[in-house]
Amino acid sequence: MPDDRGRPVNGLRALRPAWVEVDLDAVRHNAGLLRRLVAPAELCAVVKADGYGHGAPEVATAAIDGGAALLAVALVEEGLALRAAGIAAEVLLLSEPTAEAMTEAVAHGLTPTLYRMEGVSAARKAAAQLGRPVPVQVKVDTGMHRVGADPEELLEVVQAVANAPELALAGLWTHLAVADVPDDPFTGVQLARFEHARAVLAGAGIVPRLVHAANSAGAIAHPDARLDLVRCGIALYGHLPSAALAGWIERALGEPASLAPALSWKARLHLVRRLEAGERTSYGRTYELATASYVGVVPLGYHDGVPRRLASAGGQVLVGGARRDIAGTVTMDQIIVDLGDDDAVRPGDEVVLIGRQGGEEITAEEWADRLGTISYEVLCGIGPRVPRRYVGGGSSGGACGPER
């Protein structure tokens, strides 16, 4: 049996029998599948939020092995973590750094996204210290209304980049708001606005080297959005952006093909006890045992990313290949599960919160449906004190330990 206690978590040795298992072969498979789907467009692997909770350096290395041409993160700190792990691939910053962060970004070879004149000025100042042009990309807001240059201000920003000897315009991009709803016409509206922005720039003699618009949903469901590059996050980890996209990859490729979920979340039963019918469990005593039953304690709680409301939403785990109800309110460090009359269950038995056991499976999508959210939030919500274990070797590079 592999050691599931882990290695350092936040600098401390992980001794609790609870862990996330990440299959790097699944990440490689997903990257390769997405690359085939969108070819000749290139694949950018989005590894922000610590690789959606999977571990950014490890996932980044596997994604590059699988065919990704570059990486993307949200924060300069995330890019620096990749560099500290020995990853030399191009890293695109998806938001414009502050002036202070811009200096760090440029010094470590990260590619800033710009969309304000203040950002252009900060990038020029940071790049001047290097003595060579620094590649940057410009984002235009086509309707998401989060970040990006306003269309009427885009030309000013791009001309400022193009005219700056310290900078090199490496790309122009936008982000799609409803691509996960395949029949929503607004995706077409955004793509038309993006093409208009490109035409305005071309009229001024400016043609960016790369143009890109597609996120995972855009890459899967909107071929017109693939352009030169697609930025895939959730699909890289083996999950569709929405249930509406089921079957789209298979139909596009004309062959059986599917994404492989890379993450499983497991623990071992800490304690098992038998309680009489009518006994109530956990805070608030909201869960009542209908019959005499065994209950087990799992050493994970809401601080680890098991939402407190999951129990009242009908949440379950797998023990002994069977579904078991979460018995009462999730507490900070532990949950209680109803084992029924199964006297074969023992402390130390494996518990699966997300993943497969025997013929049963609990998915991140199931959690999301119960909680009224999306799989992204479920995966990113798994806390940093849960160690990540890595399976699926064969990496060609990077600094990836077997566990962290």
Distance CA 270, CA 17 (A): 8
Check pLDDT > 50 for residue 2: no
Helices (H), 239-397: 248-253, 364-371, 375-380
CATH architecture of 263-391: Beta Barrel (2.40)
Q: For residue 41, give both structure tokens.
A: 């467009």
Residue 31's closest CA among 171, 231, 241? 231
Average pLDDT of the residues in 321-350: 97
Domain residue ranges of the chain, discontinuous segments joined by + = 24-253, 263-391
Check pLDDT > 60 for residue 402: no
Residue 323's closest CA among 293, 362, 290, 296? 362
To the nearest 10 degrees (0 to 180), the angle between helices 56-66 and 76-84 is 70
Res 5: pLDDT: 44
pLDDT in tens, 206-253: 999 999 999 999 999 999 999 999 999 999 999 999 999 999 999 999
CATH architecture of 24-253: Alpha-Beta Barrel (3.20)
Check pLDDT > 50 for residue 294: yes
Distance CA 94, CA 301 (A): 32
Phi/psi-derived region of residue 374, left when phi > 0, alpha when psi is between -120 and 50, beta in every other case = beta
CATH topology agreement for domains 24-253 and 263-391: no
Distance CA 181, CA 193 (A): 19
Distance CA 96, CA 92 (A): 10
Res 131: pLDDT: 86
Check pLDDT > 60 for residue 394: no
Identify the band that residue 289 occupies on the pLDDT scale cut at 50, 70 and 90. very high
Distance CA 268, CA 1 (A): 13
Distance CA 64, CA 28 (A): 8
Q: Which sign does the torsion angle of CA 366, 371, 374, 376 carry? A: negative
Check pLDDT > 70 for residue 153: yes
Out of 48, 115, 287, 294, which one is annotated catalytic? 48
pLDDT in tens, 30-84: 999 999 999 999 999 999 999 999 999 999 999 999 999 999 999 999 999 999 9
Res 14: pLDDT: 75
Beta bridge partners of 275: 293
Out of 237, 266, 283, 302, which one is annotated catalytic? 283
Check pLDDT > 60 for residue 135: yes
Average pLDDT of the residues in 283-295: 97
Res 1: pLDDT: 35
Check pLDDT > 50 for residue 3: no
**DSSP three-state, residue 387:** coil
Distance CA 361, CA 182 (A): 27
Identify the band that residue 11 occupies on the pLDDT scale cut at 50, 70 and 90. low
Identify the band that residue 403 occupies on the pLDDT scale cut at 50, 70 and 90. low
Res 234: pLDDT: 98
- Please say if 48 is a catalytic residue: yes
Check pLDDT > 60 for residue 286: yes
Distance CA 125, CA 178 (A): 37
Q: Are 328 and 310 in contact (CB under 8 A)?
A: no
Average pLDDT of the residues in 171-194: 98
Distance CA 15, CA 238 (A): 29
- Please say if 139 is a catalytic residue: no
Check pLDDT > 90 for residue 367: yes
Return the percentage of the chain with pLDDT > 70, whole number. Answer: 94
Q: For residue 150, give both structure tokens.
A: 């306003």
Check pLDDT > 60 for residue 398: no
Radius of gyration in angstroms for the set of CA atoms belonging to the chain, rounded to a whole number: 24
